Amino acid sequence: MATTQVTDASFEADVLNSDEPVVVDFWAEWCGPCKMIAPALEEISEEMNGQVKITKLNIDENQDMAMKYGVRSIPMLILFKGGEPMATQVGAAPKGKLSDWIKSAL
């Protein structure tokens, strides 16, 4: 399962009401580091399918959720569990570090 797009409108249903933990990647088209971690997030999404759902929220198109969760620099990843933010990772990181971060937050 690849990463999925979420929007301000779908955030509650896709993230807050999800039965499994959800990582939200707050990103933008113009963000170089965001594009650098995208392939790693796709691979992690496949490898951890069934354990965690990885989603992407474009902050240029969906500013409400970015403001609500205090996104000031991107990429910013927030892991939600049971509708609550549990862990945050700011900035680009290698795939191994991103994977370890997700696993430690689960």
Grouping H, G, I as helix, E, B as strand and the rest as coil, residue 15 is helix
β strands within 30-75, DSSP E = 53-58
Active site residue 51: no
pLDDT reported for residue 1? 59
- Which residue of the set 22, 34, 37, 77 is catalytic? 34
| Domains in the chain, CATH or no CATH each | 2-100 (3.40.30.10)
Tens-place pLDDT, residues 77-99: 999 999 999 999 999 999 999 99
Taking residues 49-65, report their average pLDDT. Answer: 97
Active site residue 34: yes
Query: Residue 102's CB: how many other CB atoms inside 10 A?
Result: 22
Query: How confident is residue 15, by pLDDT bands cut at 50, 70 and 90?
Result: very high
Tens-place pLDDT, residues 60-76: 999 999 999 999 999 99
Question: What is the Cα–Cα distance from 64 to 69, expressed in whole angstroms?
Answer: 9
pLDDT reported for residue 2? 84
- pLDDT surpasses 70 at 38: yes
- Which residue of the set 6, 15, 24, 31 is catalytic? 31
- pLDDT surpasses 80 at 55: yes
